[in-house]
Chain A
Amino acid sequence: MNSRERVTEVDIGFEIPPVMKEITQEKINKYAEASEDFNPIHVDEEFAAKSMFKGTIAHGLLSLAYISEMMSKWLGKGWLTGGELEVTFLVPVRPGDRIIAKGSVIEKTEESGKHYVICDVFCENQKGDKVISGRAKGVVQ
């Protein structure tokens, strides 16, 4: 959490250090336990096989957590205090997928004396498909 950038050091196009994860059914189950979300689409292979997904998928909020981790490691307090994240879940994440959270600065603004960065953020899988995509806004101190 000591790598926060000053606004003068962040240029448009800056690429945020990525976060990489590997998805397994065990990790999905563990997230279900931690988040208390036991929707069978995530944890019940028989139920999920009969769904439109033809198998279990990870919780969307698990991939979202990877983007938040990327932002918090980069901005620290500027993410936990005043950060905003808006994403669309595009492609299901499945056991066996390798997910990378990435992002880059697309705009810098100043509001009420605070400096903000607006970033394109997304997670992609091992095929290069964007599985979740959106915008993040954080304070650069």
Chain B
Amino acid sequence: MSPKELLFDDIYVGQEFPGLEYHLNRETIQKYGEAVEDLDPIYTDQEAAVASEFGGPVAHPTTASIYILKAYKVGVTSPPGGVHAKQKFEFISPTRPGETLQIKAKVVDKYIKRERRYVVIESLAVNQDGEPKVKSLMTVIWAK
């Protein structure tokens, strides 16, 4: 059975999505670094990262882009063709390879403006020790 498509009319303010568990590993970070063309040694070179101000490898802060999108698609799909309108990130502390993140997302606003459907989703990622890592507030134009 394919996941249910989450339509704008089904979304409500205060709606909480089931938590997402996301394991961040070296391969993910390397692949992301290649895609955004940012292979800074703090992300990709163990030895250089250990010698850096971070004391070990870290992830690009914007790898959060991967899991904030997944966090509102747990058990559902969003209609194809949605467009990102706004994004806010707070990078509280660096995420690192080997961490397992728990991401909780909820709808904090929805509205229609110029015949476009907007949904605002807030999310917070914490690691396995309960340390907050990244906060996100994204505004998406919902396709239908």
Contact = CB atoms under 8 A, between A and B. Distances in A.
B66 interface: yes
A65 B38 contact: yes
Contact-residue size bin, chain B (C-beta under 8 Å from the other chain)? 35 or more
Given A1-B40, A41-B80, A65-B60, A86 B35 contact: no
A112 to B, nearest CB: 14
B34 interface: yes
Interface stretch (B1-9, B10-18, B83-91, B121-129): B83-91
B81 A84 contact: no
B88 A81 contact: no
Given A76-B53, A80-B58, A80-B94, A35 B38 contact: no
Interface string B66-90: 1001100000000011111111111
Nearest to B70: A36
A34 B34 contact: yes
A66 B37 CA distance: 9
Contacts, number: 120
Interface of A: 1, 21, 27, 30-31, 33-37, 39-41, 47, 51, 59-62, 64-66, 68-69, 72-73, 76-77, 79-89
Interface in B17-64: 28, 31-32, 34-38, 40-42, 52-54, 58, 60-62
- SS of A interface (majority): helix
B53 A64 contact: no
A61 B92 contact: no
A30 B36 CA distance: 9
Contact of A87 (B35, B37, B58, B86): B86
B32 A35 contact: yes
Contact of A41 (B32, B40, B81, B88): B81
Most buried by B among A21, A33, A80, A89: A80
